[in-house]
Structure 1
Amino acid sequence: MRKWLPLVAVCLGTFMLLVDVTIVVVALPDMAESLRTSFADLQWVMDVYALALAALLLGVGSLADRAGHRQVYVAGLTLFALASLACGLATGPEALIAFRCVQGVGGAAMLATTTALISSIYHGRDRGVAFGAWGAVSGAASAAGPIMGGLLTEHLDWRWIFFVNLPISVLAIAMTLRCVAPTPPRRGRGVDLPGLAAFTVAAGSATYALIKGNDYGWTSGATLGLFGVAALALLAFLLIETRREQPLLDLSLFRRASFSGLMAAAVLLSVAAFSYLAYTSLWLQSVRGMGPVAAGLTCLPMSVAAFLVASLSGRFLHDVSPRWTIGVGMLLIGAGALLQATVDAGSDWTVLVPGLAVTGIGVGLATPMLASAAMASVGPERGGMASGAVNTARQLGNALGIAVLGVVFQSGLTSAVRDHGAGSVADPSATADALAGGQAGAVVAHAGPAERDLLGQLVHEAFAAGLRQTFLVSGALGILGGLVALALVRRPAKPAAQQQRPQPAAREAVPEMS
């Protein structure tokens, strides 16, 4: 059993940082009330963390290849713990958002090194088991976040969703230092800072434009300018990477159809499976009147299904082509979102359960193979790049997905208020903004006694319309990801029997993804 202690150390950090992607979901209404800001403004508490992860994973992965994977992992754990403490002590939304960004920096250092550490420690069949366990933890973590967040928020305080990271971080650091051998640093030219800066500007500008587009106007100079900055920064990133001897991301990898398919599936997985949870939680708490624990527990079917399926798939399906595990998993994720699109004005939380369970099965199938297939595309010395690439795709998908689905949700909600609120709502746009900001109770309470029943029905109809559109878009993107995976992803060319034979990492052949 001692051989699995390094895996436990790696999975502890993985679970913690991925839980923090979604743990704030059910706590946002309490945060907004405590910090005297709106749910909409606190969207950045979710997005800035995912954005920091996405923007820095490639750079930190490159740094880890040179400085040593264990060293960077421990540094990330330390920074993550300190930032978590600062988040829990924050007294205003600006400080909370800033420290969440720092927390994302620490999370990037951890996430960029986890799969590289597993790949270097385990070989043959043990590697398949290890990636299966890692995938189970990864798949369950994001779904478990709302459950943990609800329990901590309702029984303690929203600040404990951050404080809980401290003992876990200490345990993970101690186990890593004791059980994981230090990786020797490699000489290199350093991190590609120009490429890192260009990628960060591109991702940040695009996300900010999507989040603020409704406020600024989609055709306003500010919104179009932000999208223009994002496009120019992305172009600069591509030009920089083609001219660097040691780039953040070797763009030639995208000439392989399989690698491109893996990256596309990773982006769409996060959007289709997790990005709508913030808006589902808002409906459950603001409209259905559920507490944080009850709202979080609605994600239990997804969390349990993802954990069980990922555990079994890592053990029994490691010889199956990633084309099938990822492709079928993504199709199930899309189907799960579409099942939830049956929500209507009279629905309660039970309408979500079948879809969440199906989505969890899909997450459990797709997540473990995404990581191992990406690692199979490069040599051991570039493990940080591969790990960073697939995880960057997932976190960028989550950051952009929250923003894009926020636009879709508010559009559906606003349209419903305008269509059904004639005569009962003086300002449909302002009412829709208030509902999207988590103020459904206040909107109904401020109405006259004769109008409350009618306005209450309007709130239910508007939220159902917004959620339906959100689930439909999520479902379509999930199915698109499945079709892309089935069409492009292929098994590595190296025979499976050879892959399972234990060999020193330095002598393992690099599988060709065709």
Structure 2
Amino acid sequence: MPAERAPSPTRWWTLGIVALGSFMLMLDLSVVAIALPQIHESLGSSFSDLQWVFDAYALTLAIFLVAAGSLADRIGRKKLFQVGFAIFTAASLACGLADGAGALSWFRAIQGVGAAIMFAVGPAMLSHEFHGRERATAFTAFGAAVGLAVATGPLIGGSLINALSWRWIFYINVPVGVIALLIGALRVRESLNPKAHPTDWSGLATFSIALGALVYATIRGPVEGWTSGVTLGLYALSAVFLLFFVVIERRLGERALIDPAFFRSPTFVGISLVAMIGNAGALPSVFFETSYLENMLHVDAWGTGLRFLPLTGAMFVAGALGGGLIGKVPFRVLLGGSTLVMAIGILFLNLTEADSSWTVLLPALIIAGIGMGAFNPARAALAIGVTEPAKSGVASGINETFQQVGIAVGIAGVGAYFQHSVANDFKDSAVGKQMGADAAESAAHGISAGGLDTVAQAAGPLHDKVLATGQDAFMSAFHGAMTLSAILGFIAAIIGFTMLRTKDLHSSALSTIPPDVDEDGEVRPDGSPDVTVGASA
């Protein structure tokens, strides 16, 4: 309708606030990686504690994304975005004041709730405000903000930690959040879908329990034992509540937290799987690259941040270029190709050794950075492009949920593999047997958490043997974990190339596709359109 397609005078303010919010919430996902050694030292946290500092945030992000998208469509996207920003800002202050690893993880979980609201609602706000060619521009900026946050996290974190302390990676959010809330209140207009269904609280509860049990079991598996009653019980609990969730969703139909109708589209299923599996491989690689630099090469926080600049540059440039290709290149090529490039880059991490120069990371940082940067804008655009604009909040929330589930489960799963590998290699070594089973296991946990030097110093006359064996165990586990991350990337690429179809897009999204592209995203030799262009949004 013409009235709906009239350019909004406040659309660029909306883009600015959404991009800023997305930058902050993704920054807090990546910036923590650089601070983990300092958090470990300051709060005396274990390896599983460190994982929870990551996963508590990603977990609540995943759980509340779909509910946030549904609620925003019903009560107002601007209103809920402002609420999310306020929760995120207040929780950031609480994280900075935390006096223990447990408290920090809980405040990170609350921070994740605010981030979930922002991340689910932001793309829907852009979809409502921008149409046609401008929509591609908006999602280019959105993707660049997300990519820049992930890439610059180590540098920003390193500078704050070196100049002040790890607490300032959270404190910095407070003044930025207050300013953003004021601008949003004054310059962003409201949008909603009055026909949206009420929030599915029963689905939210069962989904939350299923996902929480799954991640907790995966993180605690190396500690409790993979065949222990606690671990198996948690996995069983997760499976039971996931079954309850599926039954509830099927009965509710369109009123469900995750509308089963979305999954009748192969492209929606495909982009959801690509987002989940691709991120399950991408984020653990950043986590462990940071650990390698700080624990094996003994680079400080600021130095680690500087060494991530090649990743920063690659992601920023690829994000901008990738967003500009939306509508010009088939989505299956954009998303399949970006995850393929990312996986190839991660494989290059197997070139590392305990005594390598940091430059050995350059191929991985640049190649994987190109893939990660190009992925984000295309993913966000396709996720909302497969449904009508009125349901864009829910569609965005579902896709972001799959992405954050991938991050949470990826970090938990790859982290559990890493911890298990370190423990097995060290306990089975000659020095491990010499130390005894209990002492060797305790030492292995210390090595996993980044405390190899401390473990070696405490070993007394066995210092040199423990140091050498610990390095070997760390590097072997690091290579295995990065190979696992790359395999996940390759799986995501295969899904992207085979399941994504332009013809599944809603007509409103097709207005960004040039007229010489057919319904499969291929250029027509006669230049004639095969789809309706410029349909009402």
Q: TM-score range by the shorter chain?
A: over 0.9
Q: Distance in 2 between matches of 1:5 and 1:220?
A: 53
The equivalent residue for 1:204 is 212
Q: Which residue of 1 aligns with 2:168?
A: 160
State the Cα distance separating 1:5 from its structure 2 match: 2.6
Residue pair 1:344, 1:465 contacting (<8 A) in 2 also? no
The answer to whether 1:492 aligns with 2:503 is yes
What residue number does 1:49 align with? Answer: 57
Distance 1:40 1:350 in 2: 30
Contact 1:345–1:457 under 8 Å retained in 2? no
Given the alignment of the two structures, is residue 294 of structure 1 paired with residue 269 of structure 2, yes or no? no
Match of 2:466 among 435, 438, 455: 455
Q: Would the aligned equivalents of 1:152 and 1:161 in 2 still touch at CA under 8 Å? A: yes
| Structure 2 residue 88 is the aligned partner of structure 1 residue 80 | yes
Q: Which residue of 2 aligns with 1:439?
A: 451
Cα distance in 1 for residues equivalent to 2:278 and 2:126: 22
CA–CA separation in structure 2 for the residues paired with 1:389 and 1:274: 19
Deviation at 1:184, TM superposition (A): 4.3
Change beyond 3 A, Cα 1:388–1:174: same
Which letter does structure 1 place at the counterpart of 2:444?
A
Figure out how many residues of one structure are paired with residues of the other and give that number: 505
Distance, in Å, in 1 between the alignment partners of 2:512 and 2:314 is 28
Distance 2:51 2:509 in 1: 48
Q: Please list every run of 5 or more consecutive structure 1 residues that lacks an aligned counterpart in the other structure.
A: none
Residue 475 of structure 2 aligns with an amino acid whose one-letter code is A
CA gap 1:340/1:499 in 2 versus in 1, 3 angstroms:
same
Which of 128, 136, 140 aligns to 1:132? It is: 140
Letter of the 1:472 counterpart: T
1:89 aligns with 2:97: yes
**After superposition, what is the alpha-carbon deviation per residue over 1:74-133, rounded to whole angstroms, capped at 9, x for unaligned?**
110111111111111112222211111111111111111010000000110000011011
Q: Is the alpha carbon distance of 1:374 and 1:218 closer, same or farther for their aligned partners in structure 2, counting shifts above 3 Å?
A: same
Q: Conserved in 1, the CA contact under 8 Å of 2:296 and 2:354?
A: no
The one-character-per-residue Cα deviations of 1:245-297 (angstroms, maximum 9, x if unpaired) are 41111122222221111011101221111123323322322332211111233
Q: Measured at CA, do residues 445 and 11 of structure 1 come closer, stay the same or move farther in structure 2, by a change above 3 Å?
A: same
- Alpha-carbon distance change, 194 to 293 in structure 1, aligned in 2, over 3 angstroms: same
Residues 36 and 253 of structure 1: CA distance in aligned 2, closer, same or farther (over 3 Å): same
Within 5 Å, which residues of 2 pair with 1:154-233? 154-184=162-192, 186=194, 188-233=196-241
| 1:377–1:501 CA distance, 2 compared to 1 (3 A) | closer
Give, in whole Å, the separation in 1 of the partners of 2:266 and 2:179: 41
8 A contact 2:43–2:99 mirrored in 1: yes
Paired residues for 1:256-295 under 5 Å: 256-295=265-304
Change (3 A) 1:188 1:477: closer
Q: Alignment partner for residue 340 of structure 2, among 331, 337, 360?
A: 331
Shift of 1:153: 1.2
Query: What is the one-letter code of the residue matched to 1:9?
Result: I
Change (3 A) 1:341 1:496: farther
- Could you tell me whether the CA contact under 8 Å between 1:143 and 1:299 is conserved in 2? yes
> 1:275 corresponds to which letter in structure 2?
P
Please give the alpha-carbon distance, in whole angstroms, between the structure 2 residues aligned to 1:469 and 1:372: 33
Is contact 1:143-1:303 (8 Å) kept?
yes
Question: In the alignment, what sits opposite 2:323?
Answer: 314
Code of the aligned partner of 1:91: D
Deviation at 1:300, TM superposition (A): 2.1
What TM-score, normalized by structure 2, do the two folds share? 0.90
In 2, Cα distance between equivalents of 1:55 and 1:493: 27
Matched residue, 1:369: 378
Per the TM alignment, residue 65 of structure 1 is displaced from its structure 2 partner at its CA by: 0.7
The alpha carbon displacement at 1:343 in A equals 1.9
Matched, 1:413 2:425: no
Match for residue 305 of structure 1? 314
CA distance in 2, matches of 1:508, 1:205: 44
Cα distance, 1:317 vs structure 2: 4.3
Q: Deviations over 1:405-427 (max 9, x none)?
A: 11111233223324544466444
Aligned residue identity for 1:353: L
Query: Which secondary structure state, in structure 1, belongs to the residue aligned with residue 210 of structure 2?
Result: helix
For 1:420 and 1:390, how far apart are their aligned partners in 2?
44
> TM-score w.r.t. structure 1 length?
0.93
- Change beyond 3 A, Cα 1:374–1:99: same
Separation in structure 2 between the aligned mates of residue 493 and residue 287 of structure 1, nearest angstrom: 48
